[in-house]
Structure 1
């Protein structure tokens, strides 16, 4: 994504934790293209060196291989940093159900370490990846930031605890914080492999390989799928804002429309069949509903529009066209 039109000061030094991950590496690329000095902190538990291979030789890019569960590492990463974009986490609801201890260690203890390090280094603002999973069992649609339910998974609990800690650090220590509740982000570099792969890259690569995608449930579950460039926009706007009402708070990061899984598969078939007409006839399989899955998710983005000037450019159709072309070009067997 080209962020030059946002007029972000290229002299700012920015730390991106989880910078070799799907979202983090895309943010790093945008910042480096803008001329910023970027430090990427990653332990490569889920991040990949291939995601940042084009950045390694850039003089403005520094890779710090380390774990946010180590406070000294976090403090080292925050030296002379103006802004922290905290993307590091162990994602996935199923992963957290299978291993709640590790999810808590990374997502809560690691998060607290980063807050402490940012505070001690006088970082201007700490902007962090929150999650739509925080809405839990709330049946209110669309999801509005100040009305949440009870979390439905260990992962959701960890992300809610992040919000509570950030709020306390803002009030107690004066550290400026902004939380970004991501709604089902997708796009280039998202990993299609592994037990915890997100549905869009997983379904896309299955269809490209002429395999039948497996939908958990009957396909009626819906999500507010959010293209990566919309997420980059929100991170940049969170750095830029000088409005006191816009900081020390939380925003939904989404497009504001929902798509069910059956519709998603059909969109993918249409776009991929432009490259391979046989994909259009691949049948879908249906399995059991996963534990901890929220049936429906739809974000209100009015707060982000009003306070940050958020103006997402990619709906599900435009985003999928970009994403499927990237997967076809880069991950086809």
Structure 2
């Protein structure tokens, strides 16, 4: 899908992270100037290596919890793609204070800095966790339940603050509720590693992955290129599409057992022994939503969003990347 986004100056917060670094890379390839703000708490310097010497790329080492860093990063910038956050439901349950400091106070700092420096539009990473205990499927933007974790609360508060800044200060905002994003550069290591790279790494090492629960929980797994498309379209969208939130997903759902089947199939093309690795099952994880499936009709209608990568297509790309890079 060709998107004509060129000659803009764009700040990507959390630009050394998984999603942020992919956004930086694709923005630079299209001929934009990119400022990256990151404190490297979870982002990695190696994610920036391929474009760090690009004259159109500026790295600011700073923290969104520091307003001065936010003001510096937003100066003379056209648009903000705000990705910086502490992800992970389990992390937020273990340490809700730090999650709140980064995800709420840091978010507010970024809104204030964007307002002060007259940013044209503030596009931010929202989360499917906002749907909480709502059992309705598919998930539709204006019908949410009660949050199931401190992380979910922080992401919902982001949406409330963005709405207030739109109404009170006239700052154009768009929230993108990401659904289980995966793809190249997603870290398989650490206590809070996302499920797909963690499973890939374990299977590649012929270790038995553990699925939380019986494997019948389902997710709308979303490949990184679908997310990049949604961010670019949000920058370019006309004014009737702003000051609201959108689901960013493929619009399908697969169980964790489905996911594991696809991973074994695609990885065994590189090493046939992977097909024989046993899968183990553990208890359900606290704060997990049982089923997640997004309606993407609103994004299709107002942003012209047209996701190109199903789970299977995205996994083939991701597995190929991990095989070469892990």
**TM > 0.5:** yes
- Alpha-carbon distance, 1:7 to partner: 1.0
Cα deviation digits, residues 152-193 of structure 1 (max 9, x gap): 000000000000000000000000000000000000000000
1:313 aligns with 2:308: yes
**Aligned counterparts, 1:62-211, within 5 A:** 62-211=58-207
Partner of 2:254: 259
**Aligned counterparts, 1:212-223, within 5 A:** 212-223=208-219
Runs (4+) of structure 1 exceeding 2 A deviation are none
- Alpha-carbon distance, 1:245 to partner: 2.2
Cα deviation digits, residues 66-110 of structure 1 (max 9, x gap): 000000000000000000000000000000000000000000000
- Alpha-carbon distance, 1:204 to partner: 0.4
CA distance in 2, matches of 1:284, 1:238: 40
Provide TM-score, normalisation by structure 1. Answer: 0.97
Q: How many residues are paired up?
A: 326
CA distance in 2, matches of 1:187, 1:292: 24
CA distance in 2, matches of 1:144, 1:47: 31
CA distance in 1, matches of 2:256, 2:174: 31
Structure 2 stretches lacking a partner, 5+ long: none
- Secondary structure of 1:127's counterpart equals strand
1:21 aligns with 2:17: yes
Structure 1 stretches lacking a partner, 5+ long: none
CA distance in 1, matches of 2:124, 2:303: 15
- Alpha-carbon distance, 1:11 to partner: 1.8
CA distance in 2, matches of 1:94, 1:245: 37
**Alignment root-mean-square deviation, CA:** 0.6
